[in-house]
Chains A and B, each alone.
Chain A
Amino acid sequence: MKRARLLLPLLLLGMVAPFAVAQVRRARPVTNDPALEQRLFNLSKNLRCLVCQNETLADSQADLAEDLRDEIREQMKAGKSDKEIIDFLTARYGQFILYKPQVTPTTYLLWFGPFVLLLAGLAVLFRYIKQRRELIPERPLSAEERRRAEELLRTRSRKETA
């Protein structure tokens, strides 16, 4: 128990340490225009860093990501719209740079594939249920079964009234 009590702060410290380093690196001079930085962040969090691939352009500390952010910054200062900047980037790096790819014939499968699969799954499920239902024939109760059922009902209602 005592060891566990010691372990926890250590663990927490270990979790915090990498962020401390990242913070130091992030303190790189940017522009002194918070609105522009916010716009850059909003745009670049939907863009892929091509070096790390699983990181957004907003998060990445890769050299290329910094260059691309500088490029976007300058285009924003030049008054380019977000769409123009995205067109600029996709013309050079392809749709891959977008975390949310545009809907084009090449991405139809990506966008609609899951829904097609869902519909196919539902169709299979309904067919299966229907088949199962047909396997159970509706059989009227025999006289003996009806008598037993009525008896069961009677005993139950007597218990409830008691």
Chain B
Amino acid sequence: MLRYLIPLAIFLVMVVFLAIGLRRDPSEVPSPLINKAAPTFRLPQLKEPSKTFSAADMRGKVWVLNVWASWCVSCREEHPLLLAYAKTGAVPIYGLNWKDHREDALAWLGELGDPYVLSVTDLDGRVAIDYGVYGAPETYLIDQNGTIRYKQIGAVTEDVWNDKILPLVQQLNREGAAR
């Protein structure tokens, strides 16, 4: 009896491992930055390069930092959603324009609409390295204390927004109000 059960058990273990392993997206690298302080930066704004914006300016607020570029295909995919979510006013969305050309980025926003309170330009990708960015789009949710609470690798989808980001925003706002 045992001699039949053992291969069966091995088979079942492999099925479980493969079922979990094959469903995971290998391009998604878990970020070590979750629950760590968001790296500080001061970068020129896309629309008004003479002005800068810093992550430190957002202290006391819950906000979203979305890494995008005009050359990024998936950014185009998530863009309509970002526009819609920006309109709800649930959480301010800021853009980090990653390794892009200013004219291309401006044309992109002009064509597709601008969901961002403002975008900053990271031409050489230095700030993106600090944030552990390795592909656009990536989206960070940062809390009142400047801590990264969530990172979405790849396009934000309706599920991600409704099930992950929005509940966290609401929870953080409640905690902030209680303090």
Contacts and interface: CB of A to CB of B under 8 A. Distances in A.
Interface of A: 50-51, 53, 63-64, 67-68, 70-71, 90-96
20 contacts: A50-B29, A50-B134, A53-B27, A64-B134, A64-B135, A67-B99, A67-B125, A68-B129, A71-B129, A91-B32, A91-B33, A92-B33, A92-B130, A92-B131, A92-B132, A93-B132, A93-B134, A94-B32, A94-B132, A96-B30
A94 B29 contact: yes
A64 B29 contact: no
Contacts, number: 43
Given A63-B99, A67-B125, A51 B135 contact: yes
Interface residues of B, number: 18
B32 A93 contact: yes
Contacts of B134: 50-51, 64, 93
Nearest to B30: A94
A71 B29 contact: no
Nearest to B124: A67
Nearest to B132: A92
B7 interface: no
